[in-house]
């Protein structure tokens, strides 16, 4: 029977019990969001004890070395001593520079981190508003920008959505480590890219398109965005970008046209790579039309914006 120690607290568990569930049931205040090993909101530090491989999948080597693990992915295998994550101590401080609400319920957030950080445009990080309220968001800016930019969908009743709107420029927040597989790979230079986004799924995909263009991507880049509301919230910016790059083809379409558009989906080439991002239902909906258009699964890279309740 594994014994889990958090400071002075000792918790009895069964082999195979999920660490996050065990800690929450014992009254420990462990934040969580996706419960799918994707977002890094549920980080916990193992001071000793067995750490199963699946609990560190996707973490950076430095995080693994320091003993961090994802509690939601950790089946308990033996006695452990744990330290809970404290964003103010373990994360990177940043301050809000600007917030603009645009389009239909999209908040454009600009943060200045206390020091520059290394990331790939399109990766994600947890933004913490306090020690308990953090959510994963995709990085919409380029690595050369001094500020970090995010596109946040405002969810009615959403804890993060509501709280951030009460904050002012200058307010301090904390950032987790950048992570995730969603970014441009220089090996893709000659492959046509088909970037498919719904809602704020545009955040990582427009960042990846910009990164590809700045890296001298040779083949065509087709960016399709299905927006909520009257127009794409980056309409003019994207049109300016396409005007400056003949290889960038834009399709900015209302969300209501998605089903009809998918029946018309055609590939520019068999070597096309498709990157898909948005709400989970959208990512699910796109798979079959891509397959029907002749794209093998290994040429589809997707990221679903899982929510806390999903
Ligand atoms: C890797 C990753 C990257 C992400 N990047 C972004 C991003 O760049 N921009 C962005 O806007 N979101 C992104 N998300 C999703 C975002 O983290 C969640 O939507 C988050 O739960 C919102 O927090 P909240 O506190 O406002 O709402 P919550 O309190 O978490 O949820 C409140 C209610 O809002 C609804 N809801 C919340 N999120 C979603 C969703 N994604 N789809 C459908 N309904 C939802 C649900 O009904 C839920 O019950 C990302 C998620 C992941 C896993
Ligand atoms: S990775 Fe554990 S809650 Fe998201």
Q: What is the pLDDT of residues 191-238, one digit of tens each?
A: 999 999 999 999 999 999 999 999 999 999 999 999 998 999 999 999
Query: Which tens digit of pLDDT belongs to each residue from 201-210?
Result: 999 999 999 9
Query: What is the arithmetic mean of pLDDT over 107-131?
Result: 96
Query: What is the arithmetic mean of pLDDT over 109-115?
Result: 97
Asked if 82 and 6 touch (Cβ cutoff 8 Å), the reply is: yes
Mean pLDDT over all residues of the chain?
A: 95
- Residues counted in the chain: 310
pLDDT on residue 103 = 79
Find the 155 Cα to ligand 1 centroid distance in Å: 7
Give the whole-angstrom CA distance, residue 253 versus residue 256. Answer: 8
In angstroms, how far is the first alpha carbon of the chain from the final one? 31
Please list the residue range(s) of the chain that carry CATH number 2.40.30.10: 91-175
Find the 32 Cα to ligand 1 centroid distance in Å: 12
Indicate left, alpha or beta for 27 from its phi (over 0: left) and psi (-120 to 50: alpha). Answer: left
Is 1's pLDDT higher than 80?
Answer: yes
Q: What percentage of the chain has pLDDT greater than the value 90?
A: 91
| Token digits of residue 197 | 């986004």
Give the whole-angstrom CA distance, residue 152 versus residue 109. Answer: 7
pLDDT on residue 268 = 80
Would the CB of 23 count as within 6 Å of ligand 2?
Answer: no
Would the CB of 124 count as within 6 Å of ligand 1?
Answer: yes
Is 310's pLDDT higher than 70?
Answer: no
Class of domain 3-85: alpha beta
Q: What angle do CA 36, 40, 43 make, to 5 degrees?
A: 110
Q: Give the helix/strand (H/E) hosting 5.
A: strand 3-6
Find the 154 Cα to ligand 1 centroid distance in Å: 8
Give the whole-angstrom CA distance, residue 302 versus residue 277. Answer: 6
Confidence of residue 168 (pLDDT cuts 50, 70, 90): very high
DSSP line for 97-113 = EEEEEETTTEEEEEEEE
Fold of 91-175: Elongation Factor Tu (Ef-tu); domain 3 (2.40.30)
202-214 and 235-244 are packed helices; what angle lies between their axes, rounded to 10 degrees? 20
- Asked whether the CA dihedral 125, 287, 210, 118 is positive or negative, the reply is positive
Find the 41 Cα to ligand 2 centroid distance in Å: 5
Give the whole-angstrom CA distance, residue 193 versus residue 10. Answer: 52
Fold of 186-304: Rossmann fold (3.40.50)
Ligand 2 atom closest to Cα of residue 39: 4
| Ligand minimally distant from the alpha carbon of residue 160 | 1
CB atoms within 10 A of CB 175: 23
Would the CB of 63 count as within 6 Å of ligand 1?
Answer: no
> Which residue's alpha carbon is at the smallest distance from atom 6 of ligand 1?
137
Is 162's pLDDT higher than 80?
Answer: yes
Is 266's pLDDT higher than 90?
Answer: no
Asked if 46 and 82 touch (Cβ cutoff 8 Å), the reply is: yes
Helix segments in the chain, DSSP class H: 19-25, 61-65, 87-90, 159-164, 202-214, 235-244, 258-263, 280-292
> Which residue's alpha carbon is at the smallest distance from atom 1 of ligand 2?
37
Confidence of residue 309 (pLDDT cuts 50, 70, 90): low
Please list the residue range(s) of the chain that carry CATH number 3.10.20.30: 3-85
Query: Which tens digit of pLDDT belongs to each residue from 42-100?
Result: 999 999 988 999 999 999 999 999 999 999 999 999 999 999 999 999 999 999 999 99
Ligand 2 atom closest to Cα of residue 42: 2
Query: What is the arithmetic mean of pLDDT over 91-110?
Result: 95
Would the CB of 34 count as within 6 Å of ligand 2?
Answer: yes
Ligand 2 atom closest to Cα of residue 20: 2
Would you give the DSSP letter of residue 269?
-
Would the CB of 72 count as within 6 Å of ligand 2?
Answer: yes
Would the CB of 138 count as within 6 Å of ligand 1?
Answer: yes
């Amino acid at each position: 029977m594994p014994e889990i120690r958090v400071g002075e607290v000792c918790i009895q568990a069964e082999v195979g019990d999920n660490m996050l569930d065990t800690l929450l049931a014992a009254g420990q205040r462990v934040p969580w969001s996706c419960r799918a090993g994707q977002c890094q909101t549920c980080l916990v530090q193992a001071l000793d004890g067995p750490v199963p491989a699946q609990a560190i999948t996707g973490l950076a080597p430095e995080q693994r070395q320091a003993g961090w693990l994802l509690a939601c992915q950790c089946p308990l295998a033996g006695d452990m001593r744990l330290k809970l994550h404290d964003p103010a101590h373990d994360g990177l401080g940043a301050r809000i520079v600007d917030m603009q609400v645009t389009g239909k319920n999209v908040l454009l957030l600009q943060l200045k981190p206390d020091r520059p950080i290394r990331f790939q445009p399109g990766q994600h990080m947890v933004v913490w508003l306090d020690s308990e309220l953090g959510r994963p968001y995709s990085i919409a800016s380029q690595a050369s920008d001094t500020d970090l930019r995010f596109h946040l969908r405002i969810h009615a009743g959403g804890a993060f959505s509501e709280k951030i709107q009460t904050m002012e420029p200058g307010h301090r927040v904390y950032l987790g480590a950048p992570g995730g597989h969603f970014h441009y790979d220089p090996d893709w230079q000659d492959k046509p890219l088909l970037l498919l986004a719904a809602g704020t799924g545009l955040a990582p995909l427009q960042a990846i398109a910009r990164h590809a263009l700045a890296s001298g991507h040779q083949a065509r880049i087709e960016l399709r965005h299905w927006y909520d509301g009257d127009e794409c919230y980056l309409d003019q910016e994207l049109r300016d970008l396409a005007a400056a790059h003949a290889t960038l083809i834009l399709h900015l379409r209302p969300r209501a046209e998605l089903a009809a558009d998918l029946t018309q989906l055609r590939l520019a080439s068999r070597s096309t790579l498709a990157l898909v991002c948005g709400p989970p239902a959208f990512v699910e909906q796109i798979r079959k039309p891509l397959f029907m258009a002749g794209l093998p699964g290994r040429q589809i890279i997707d990221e679903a914006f899982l929510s806390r309740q999903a």
